[in-house]
Amino acid sequence: MIEPTRVLVLGSAGFIGSAITQQLLATGARVFALGRSETTSEDDRIVRVRGSIENGGLLAEAMAECAQIVYCAGLTTPGTSANDPALEVLGNLLPLARVLECSSRFPRRHLVYLSSGGTVFGDFARDADEMTPLRPRSYYGAGKAAAEALIHACTSTSDWRATVLRPTNPYGPGQEIAKAFAIVPTLFERALDGKAFQIWGDGSAVRDYCYIDDLVSATLTALSSETDSRFKVYNVASGEAISVADLIRACERASHRTIRIEYSPSRGVDVAHVSPSSRAIAEDLGWRPQTPLTEGLARTWSWIARGERGPSTSVPNGAGLQ
């Protein structure tokens, strides 16, 4: 029997998945990239397949080749499932369950799953560590918490090993605007077009923002980790918590432009302060963020100002927070 040698990236065409795929290739890894928006192609280094995780035959083909799996696929944002919790079940949990079903057929796999450090803790998110209770206030966060529970059950009943990463708000070059999501590119879009940015509340809500290169680094570090533990969870954060009002000013400095703002009433799903601690991943795996917020924003603005981002089908006036 041929031993699997590739890394399977699920959701490989998305913002995070494509960055992880590129870095894996840069390190010399062989990759099987599967995503709904992938372009099908193949060479010695990478197999790219456009398709769904719920395609059992396709998933089995990928599993047979891959000893390691990075799961960054997802069909929702906190905004898109806000009034439709079924989207989390059908769009996210069901595809994950199809992957976990493979544990009986394809043994000794290592799964790295990208959860959410911005939504699973709810009101307990300030200085949260990995032992903090999960009390999500959104269906999106509830879906991530449920996904973590499913993965834990899989590792308890099979020989699979799993590392769950909980990144805070990811941002950086390559991130497109999504409805009620992706606040950094939305702010820079407002800097370009002069339209008003809508703030939910008074702008005092505090969030941590994780630069894409640091998140990719954490993911590859988790992939290469060697541990006897079947199930590990790590927060992945920059450690630079900042209010929305201060983030707007930071984006103005990065772009050298003024961003107009409008205020709307706060929403029930929003948490006042989200700043989970990354102490555990630093102590266990040696990972630490390398990109200060000012540098990350400057790189992101440079990418947007060069006009390299694709056309946006829906540019909202505001952006949500994780």
Q: Mean pLDDT, to the nearest integer, of 276-294?
A: 98
pLDDT at 115: 98
pLDDT at 308: 63
Q: Mean pLDDT, to the nearest integer, of 236-241?
A: 97
Answer yes or no: is pLDDT of 321 > 60.
no
Q: Mean pLDDT, to the nearest integer, of 222-249?
A: 95
Statement: 6-170+209-236 belongs to CATH 3.40.50.720: yes
- Binned at pLDDT 50, 70 and 90, residue 311 comes out as very low
Note every long-range contact of 32-36, with CB atoms under 8 Å and residues 24 or more positions apart, other chains counting: 32/6, 32/7, 32/8, 32/62, 32/65, 32/66, 33/9, 34/8, 34/9, 34/10, 34/58, 34/59, 34/62, 35/9, 35/10, 35/11, 35/73
**Of the candidate ranges 123-132, 191-200, 242-251, 301-310, the one whose mean pLDDT is the lowest:** 301-310
Q: How far apart (Å, rounded) are the C-alpha atoms in residues 269 and 202? A: 15
State pTM to two decimals.
Answer: 0.93
Answer yes or no: is pLDDT of 189 > 90.
yes
pLDDT at 124: 96
Closest to 240 measured CA to CA, from 271, 269, 209: 209
The dihedrals phi and psi of 14, each to the nearest 5 degrees, come to: -80, 180
Q: How far apart (Å, rounded) are the C-alpha atoms in residues 168 and 164? A: 13
Answer yes or no: is pLDDT of 319 > 80.
no
Answer yes or no: is pLDDT of 312 > 70.
no
Answer yes or no: is pLDDT of 317 > 60.
no
Q: Mean pLDDT, to the nearest integer, of 50-56?
A: 94
- Binned at pLDDT 50, 70 and 90, residue 3 comes out as low
Domains of the chain by residue range: 6-170+209-236
DSSP line for 109-178:
-EEEEE--TTTSSGGG-BT--TTSPP--SSHHHHHHHHHHHHHHHHHHHSS-EEEEEEE-EEESTTPPPB
Beta-bridge partner residues of 171: 211
- Is the pLDDT higher at 296 or at 315? 296
Query: What is the average pLDDT value for the chain, to the nearest integer?
Result: 92
Q: How far apart (Å, rounded) are the C-alpha atoms in residues 217 and 227? A: 18
